Amino acid sequence: MSVHLVLIDALNLIRRIYAVQERPFLLNSELADNTKKQVLFNTIQACENALLKIIESQSPTHALALFDSEKPCWRYQIYPDYKKGRKKMPEHLAEKLSDIQDAFMRNHVDSLASDEDEADDLITTLAIKVALRGQKVTIVSTDKCFLSLLSQNIQVYDYFNRRYLDRQHVKEKFNVKPEQLMDLWTLTGDSTNKIPGVPSIGQITAANLLNQYGSLNALLNANDLKASLREKLAQHQEQIQLSKSLLTLRLDIPLGFNLKDIRLPSNDTTTS
């Protein structure tokens, strides 16, 4: 059968929906208990409605919502400052994630979280496995990391702006190809996740270098670099390797299930 797998970056969706529901009540520094209950109720309803709209717009044969591990992922082990300072999920929202998962399950979309990996890694592993079989994958997220996966069989959908983030979007925003994005962010750093880059190499410079040399590896091995740039790259070799490790998405997470386990009901009479 022809497969169309939709992978939902669940916390990306949920936290943005929660922020919209919470915003009208933020005149006070802290929400009252009754207000929290109302905001959470509205969030659960809005998340379920969002799921239904995603299913309606994408018409998938299979779907899954992916969540981060509750424990700090492996990236914190190699870099304790990973995501340092990022606003944590409100505790009252975290306590309701199971209710949102139940709402998803009522609509036949199961949820999955790893013991020690981020949703990004789970989504990447699944997307690549299915894409390599020549089947279609749509990742629902506004997280820029997934743009590096864009290919003939993998697309990224921004639910909030109702648009696909395609190769043209990458070109206009970053001036590189999707397959060069991880090299770009290794050079520039990723402020969202507090991953440092090479000092004084910004996006424009990094994009120009990658467009000239093709890849970070080719750049590091080039023999025609200006002396100042060569010295700068040499001085920050360890940082470059660390950033590259932190940015690299895993492709090898054991999943423990197959596609038929997440097939949507309308396709129960078929096989995958």
Give the annotated binding-site residues for K(+).
187, 196, 198, 201
214-253 per-position pLDDT tens digit: 999 999 999 999 999 999 999 999 999 999 999 999 999 9
User: Quick one: pLDDT at residue 116?
Assistant: 83
**pLDDT at residue 33, as a whole number:** 82
Q: What is the pLDDT of residue 270?
A: 41
Read off the pLDDT of residues 37-80 as tens digits, 9 standing for 90 and up.
999 999 999 999 999 999 999 999 999 999 998 888 999 999 99
Which residues does residue 62 pair with via DSSP β-bridges, in sequence order? 5, 263
pLDDT at 89: 92
pLDDT of 198 reads 95
> What pLDDT, on the 0 to 100 scale, is given for residue 32?
82
Binding residues: 120, 187, 196, 198, 201
Look at residue 28 in the predicted model and tell me its pLDDT.
62
- Which H helix or E strand runs over 64? strand 62-67
Radius of gyration of the CA atoms of the chain, in A:
20
- Going by DSSP bridges, is the β-strand pair 154-158/136-140 parallel, antiparallel, or unpaired? parallel
Residue ranges of the annotated binding site for Mg(2+) are: 120
With both helix axes pointing from N to C terminus, report the angle between 10-22 and 33-58 in degrees, rounded to the nearest 10: 130
Average pLDDT of 96-123?
Answer: 95
Rounded Cα gap, residues 106 and 202, in angstroms: 46
Per-residue pLDDT for 102 more than 80? yes
Give residue 29's pLDDT band: very low, low, confident or very high (50, 70, 90): low
Which domains, ranges and CATH numbers included, belong to the chain?
A: 4-167 (3.40.50.1010), 170-247 (1.10.150.20)
* DSSP 8-state secondary structure symbol assigned to residue 221: T
- Looking at residues 94-123, what average pLDDT do you find? 95
Question: What average pLDDT score do residues 145-170 get?
Answer: 97
Q: Which helix (H) or strand (E) holds 9?
A: strand 4-9
